Structure 1
Amino acid sequence: MLKLLLAIPPIISIVHVFVALTLFSINITYSGNMLLLFSVPVTLVFFIHIYIAITDNSMTKSEHLGYALIHIPFSMVFSFFAVLFFIPNETKAIDINDVSKDTLLLCSNKKEIECINSFLSKK
């Protein structure tokens, strides 16, 4: 039973990514908390390793630590990868004509150095 639990953390991580890919491919957007989306699988993997380390006496503590040091970062990387698919895409189009009008007004009737200074003072 406990050996089966050691196979579950990588499966959780891989399923997390496949669910994210599936939802992304069918254009479902996630509007919830990104930290929650990331932390649930990582926390589950972490607690599985703590449970196994406490209850399993068939392996040494160094073996438990070795499994934890592999599975937990593996889970974190895959969870970050899954979260990347749900970062909202809020790119707004910028009208180039509006920008150029402001630029022309800042530099009208000025020398080159005054134009540069007006850009620097605007920030």
Structure 2
Amino acid sequence: MEFVIGVAVVIAAYVLYGVFRYFYQKRYLTTLTEEEFKQGYRKAQLIDVREPHEYEAGHILGARNIPLSQLKIRLAEIRKDKPVYLYCQSGTRSSRAASILHRKGYEKLNHLKGGFKKWTGKVKTK
């Protein structure tokens, strides 16, 4: 019985942490629909945080590839004074990238709702 209670407490803590993170992230990260994303990404820094092989298979026209796995060491490539538009395949990695950028002092962070798999706009492939 104590084991079941322990497991329930761990699950509850995990769920509460997820809810907290979700609402905290809404303070600094704007989730944009494809139309909203299209309206602003040309005036911003468009960053694809997927891995290079995903980027080469197809990416939004004008995007730079800075994989999430390299983001911390490539921060100097992203300006703090311009809006940042992030995307990945589904939205999970871009949300994690926004968290890293926020901790490093970046503002005006946006990401594409649903990620690249929901994108219907112009795409470039290699």
**Band the TM-score falls in, shorter-chain normalisation:** under 0.3
- Bigger share in helix: 1
Considering only CA atoms, is the larger Rg found in Structure 1 or Structure 2? 1
Which fold has the larger relative contact order, with Cα–Cα distance below 8 Å and residues 6 or more apart in sequence? 1
User: TM-score, normalised to structure 1's length?
Assistant: 0.24
User: TM-score, normalised to structure 2's length?
Assistant: 0.23
